[in-house]
Structure 1
Amino acid sequence: MGKQLQLNVYKANKGGRRPGSGRKRVHSKGVAHRVRERVMRRTPLHINFKYRTLIRNKFCLRLLKRAILNARAHGLRVMHFSLQSNHVHLIIEAANNQVLTKGMRSLTVTFAKGLNKGRVQIERYHLHVLRGLRETKNAIQYVLFNQHKHEKGTYTRVDEYSSLLSLKENRKVIQHYAQRVKITIEIKRAEFWELEVGRSYLSRRGLELLT
């Protein structure tokens, strides 16, 4: 019986798998499709993702809250959020990578479908694992007071598009932050948002983690 011939698909002129083939990236470098870093319940996560359309409005705020509730049904603990002009910041907890994947898929799909504008999410969500108290505290303050960063020092009111006003002792957190950056922040009424409670790693540490 003769030797079986093998087809080399890498050197074919047309079709097949070959170096340089496939759709080229047409937008920013974004987040590469690599295996996500291992996550655990005791390592909070900072996540952000971008869109091609303006999302800082009341409709998108309600849509984001619905998406968060869907993600929580998959076990994802969304602790804090901030809705900016074209991107979303989240502080979350996940027991493992499977919970993270299912929860974030539910959240992003719900939000994108609710916008009803086609493929509006620019890239994969960016994930940063928070290690240690200082890094976690900085990330939470960055998310809760993110509007101050974008308004370049003119920020004088609590951002109603974040979860800040849902904190039980939000006035103390706000005053502490305002003294640190030397600005005055007026506290206005905003729609209440129910934060994660119970056996959460962050919620057990309370206010001292935020200030």
Structure 2
Amino acid sequence: MAKQLQLNVNKGNKGGRRPGSGRKRVHSKGVAHRKRELVLQRTPVHVNFKYRASIRNKESLKLLKRAIVNARSHGLRILHFSMQSNHIHLILEAVNNEVLTKGMRSLTVTFAKGLNKGRVQIERYHLHVLKTFRETKNAIQYVLFNQHRHEKGIYTKIDGYSSLIHLKEGFKIVQHYAQRMKITIEIKRQERWDLDVGQSYLTRRGLELLI
């Protein structure tokens, strides 16, 4: 009888692997967890990261500046930034990958906690090491004028959510850029906010090439 019962149980639908069973695999569209590029003191880095919430407002800008200051304590040097509707671009320098990791962790955690909206960061930050003058120049220009790209060529004013307005050379860069693009840009002076001075020759040279 016991043997017959065991046979009946095994003939049922329970147990064993079934098509479609188990936890579904999550396909992330974010940045893959592959090995980071090698970061050196002489090579600046372009970093960007996205958020689920809209972050382009004055309170978030103040929060980003606070997060940047905190990241400095870990040796990270933030040279340029721009804040868009749901993502942030940075040009920064670090002596090695360990400093980069600690500094970026400090920055992103401080910013996320300040937003007080739970888990808002969509993916790991994406980075690209800038190894040539041309790369550095193009990256700095991309970051400083990123909002103009989103506005599809409508250049009416300097983006107050970028570091351009805080640079000592900012107005020269704006004038040169406006003249080259044959456009008129409204310039409003704002309170200066100190950014880190780039240590790498590439970064300094890249900024000079914008003027």
- Post-superposition CA distance 1:135-185 (Å, at most 9, x none): 100100110111110111112111111110111122210011112223211
2:99 maps to which residue? 99
Residue 24 of structure 1 aligns to a residue whose secondary structure is coil
Note if contact 2:42-2:200 (Cα within 8 Å) is conserved in structure 1. Answer: no
Alignment of 1:190-201 (within 5 A): 190-197=190-197, 199=199, 201=201
Query: Distance between the aligned counterparts of 2:128 and 2:78, measured in 1?
Result: 15
2:153 maps to which residue? 153
Please report the TM-score for the alignment, with normalisation by the length of structure 1. Answer: 0.84
Alignment of 1:60-99 (within 5 A): 60-99=60-99
**Which one scores higher on RCO, CA 8 angstroms, separation ≥ 6?**
2
Structure 1 segments (4+ residues) deviating >6 Å = none
Note if contact 1:81-1:90 (Cα within 8 Å) is conserved in structure 2. Answer: yes
Query: Distance between the aligned counterparts of 1:168 and 1:49, measured in 2?
Result: 27
Query: Distance between the aligned counterparts of 1:30 and 1:201, measured in 2?
Result: 32
1:6 maps to which residue? none
1:92 counterpart letter in structure 2: L
Note if contact 1:74-1:99 (Cα within 8 Å) is conserved in structure 2. Answer: yes
Note if contact 1:61-1:83 (Cα within 8 Å) is conserved in structure 2. Answer: yes
Aligned length: 193
Note if contact 2:46-2:91 (Cα within 8 Å) is conserved in structure 1. Answer: yes
How much is the aligned-residue C-alpha RMSD, in angstroms?
2.1
- Runs of at least 5 residues in structure 1 that lack an aligned partner in the other structure: 1-12, 15-20
Residue 197 of structure 2 aligns to a residue whose secondary structure is coil
Please report the TM-score for the alignment, with normalisation by the length of structure 2. Answer: 0.84
Larger C-alpha radius of gyration, 1 or 2?
2
36-45 vs 163-172, which moves further: 163-172
Flag the structure with higher helix content: 2
- Of all paired residues, the percent bearing the same amino acid is 73
1:37 counterpart letter in structure 2: E
- Runs of at least 5 residues in structure 2 that lack an aligned partner in the other structure: 1-15
